[in-house]
Amino acid sequence: MQAYTFDRAIAGAFVRFAGGFWRGPTATRAWTLTIGLALCLTASTAVTVGVNRWQRWFFDALERKDAETASLAVLVFLGLIALTAAIGVGIVLTRETLQVRWRAYLVEKLVGVWIGNNRFYHLAATHTEPDNPEYRISDDTRWATEPLTDLVIGAFSAIIGAAAFISILWSVGGSYALKLGGATLTIPAYMVLVALAYGAIASGLMMWIGRALVGCVARKNASEGEFRFALMRMRENAESVALMGGAASEQRTLTGLYDVVVQRWLALVRQHGRLTWVTNSSGPMIPIVPLLFAAPKYFSGEFTLGEVVQLAAAFVQVQLAISWIVDNYNRLAEWFASARRVMDIVDAGEALDTRIACLGDGRIALKPSADGALRIHAVEVTDTAGRTLVAADGLSIPAGAHVHVHGSTSAGKSSLVKAISALWPWGRGRIEVPAGARVMVVPQKPYLPTGTLRHALLYPDPSTAVSEADVQRVLADAGLAHLAPRLDQVERWDQMLGNGERQRLCLARVLIHKPEVVVLDDALAALDEAAQESLEAVIAKRLPKATLISLSQRPRPVSGGLMRFELVRGEKWAKVQAVAAV
């Protein structure tokens, strides 16, 4: 089980990965926002110092009963308030824009890590994908950037605020003469020492009591991701669940998953309760402590009322700066938990790349074929552990040939397809593909992206230039002419169309993109045999020079020009052998 504790290495890795926002093409925007925010924060601190000095001026005027000076101070105060408001607007605009832009950068990078080089497929196929990557990309990127921005802002403000107000405590507070019997002990800058000691005690208690908070937050986030995934999965399979009468079972599963969410939230609530002992105990004392320590010098006449108020206000500001970690420990824990989940995807992607790179020559080699033929030489497709799944040797398919491969379920048809399409590197042997040829695979499970029906038809390249007449003809060829009036409607086409219609639409894509090699991986299984033959005949007519490889569970009757192969299951794996070539 993964340990959910703060790890400097993970925090550093996240900062390096996400810190790319301040390098490269986005650097100008990032630094403009960052410097603008820093200037606004510095100006805000300067105004706060000005308010602190105003307090001394105003209260000294009250103590002297100087109405004229007090009235002038009120006018100055109104100016300070207006300036504070203006600076506050600048802080909000630069901070929130920085957060939005940084998160956008991180999401783009993370999506690239997950999808690039088909990692999303390989991670799932090798069972090394972190759980709920979609939740990590959509939600954890937010919680890994927004709190960190606020935390850095808080730390920056705390540092410059502490420097400004400690100087006030030092200069105004002076030293304190403590009489011990007949001796006098002089304590220099005693108000500074009190503020430092008070903040250190409160922060130390917070870190000690809240050390388990990181784990609580991480476990809570993980359980919520699992619950959300279960909800999404049920919605995507609503028809199958309803037809099988599985609603009650799904409800029990969802209830059980949410029970875990509740228990982990309650654990977080209990941890928050423990932290509240510290925050609610130390918070109310902050404005009182400086008054207690300043009172002896006020009573002796060493301090004026204005100086006491100024010291108290400065003490509060220093205390807030020193105890910054006390007020932000929850957010720090939330940030680290999400940063860790983000880096899990990055680490998994890097580990996968390393794993594939280490294959070296021990992988299926893909070479161009000069004469346009597709050849398979001594190929063994294996799983990631090296166990052979399917083997083929001596297959030579001329350009424009039509090939049918049949085999029982789990014989290895899909594994062979993955090797031909360069999706699966694990194995041995050599596959030659026509040089420059586009290989288009139509899988058994059709995929329709969200958007219009036209977008689904042009997928995976919606920018493909095609005339309206060709679109209409392709739909008619695929038996989908009735959908032509709805081409530009946005619907959940993956749910509105039947399985046969979805398979016909995926075949229509082939006619749109006109690849040189077409691989049908049981892509027409939802249709009857006559419909399958009819659609393959359409491909032969519209793409006469294309090589067509069709894989299915059922053998195809011998016909003129058709090359037939069979996947024969052995004791350990299946082999491809020729059946007939007419």
Ranked by mean pLDDT, the top range of 200-214, 363-377, 546-560 is 363-377
CA atoms 80, 83, 88, 94: torsion sign? negative
pLDDT per position as a tens digit, 45-64: 889 888 888 888 888 888 88
* Span 143-187, pLDDT tens digits: 899 888 988 888 888 788 777 777 877 877 777 777 776 677 777
Please tell me the distance from the alpha carbon of residue 446 to that of residue 503, in angstroms, as a whole number: 6
Between CA 187 and CA 210 the distance in angstroms is 34
Strand pairing partners for 576? 567
pLDDT tens for 460-516 read: 988 888 999 999 999 999 999 999 999 999 988 988 898 999 999 999 999 999 999
Residue limits of CATH 1.20.1560.10 in the chain: 8-357
Residue-wise pLDDT for 191-244, tens only, equals 778 777 777 777 777 777 776 776 787 788 788 888 888 888 888 777 678 877
CATH hierarchy code of domain 8-357 = 1.20.1560.10
Confidence of residue 332 (pLDDT cuts 50, 70, 90): confident
Q: What is the CA radius of gyration of the chain?
A: 35
Residues 6 or more apart in contact with residue 53 via CB below 8 angstroms: 310
Beta-bridge partner residues of 405: 551, 565
Strands 388-392 and 574-581: parallel
| More confident: 192 or 251 | 251
Is the per-residue pLDDT at 320 higher than 80? no
Segments of the chain assigned to CATH 3.40.50.300: 365-581
Sign of dihedral through CA atoms 248, 253, 256, 257? Answer: negative
Q: Band of the pLDDT at 559, cuts 50, 70, 90?
A: low
* Helices 141-173, 27-64: crossing angle, 10 deg rounding: 40
Burial 471-490 (b: 16+ CB within 10 A, else e): bebbbebbbbeebeeebeee
CATH of 365-581, one of 2.60.40.1930, 3.40.50.970, 3.40.50.2300, 3.40.50.300: 3.40.50.300
Phi, psi of 536 (to 5 degrees): -65, -30
Angstrom distance (rounded) from CA 163 to CA 112:
43
pLDDT range class, residue 326, cuts 50, 70, 90: low
CB atoms under 10 Å from CB of 172, counted, come to 18
Q: What pTM was computed for the model?
A: 0.74
For every residue of 216-235, DSSP letters joined together read: HHHHHHHHHHHHHHHHHHHH
Tell whether the model's pLDDT for residue 582 goes beyond 60.
no
Mean pLDDT of 59-82: 89
Report the DSSP beta bridge partners of residue 452.
Answer: 490
Question: Is 176 in contact with 329 (CB distance < 8 Å)?
Answer: no
Percent share of the chain, pLDDT over 70:
93
Cα–Cα–Cα angle for 529, 535, 536, rounded to 5 degrees: 90
Mean pLDDT of 339-355: 92
More confident residue, 258 or 166: 258
**If you search the block for the tokens 């690239």, which residue do you land on?**
112
Tell me how far apart the alpha carbons of residues 48 and 54 are, in angstroms, rounded to a whole number: 10
| DSSP secondary structure string for all residues of 318-333 | HHHHHTHHHHHHHHHH
The answer on pLDDT for 2 being more than 70 is: no
Neighbouring CB atoms inside 10 A of 321's CB total 23
Average pLDDT of span 31-54: 91
Task: State whether residue 574 is helix, strand or coil.
Answer: strand
- Alpha-carbon gap, residue 69 to 30, rounded angstroms: 46
Task: For the chain, count helices (H), then strands (E).
Answer: 19, 15
Distance CA 109, CA 116 (A): 10
Q: What are phi and psi of 379, to 5 degrees?
A: -90, 130
Residue whose structure tokens are 């993955």: 418
What value does the mean pLDDT take over residues 400-413?
Answer: 83
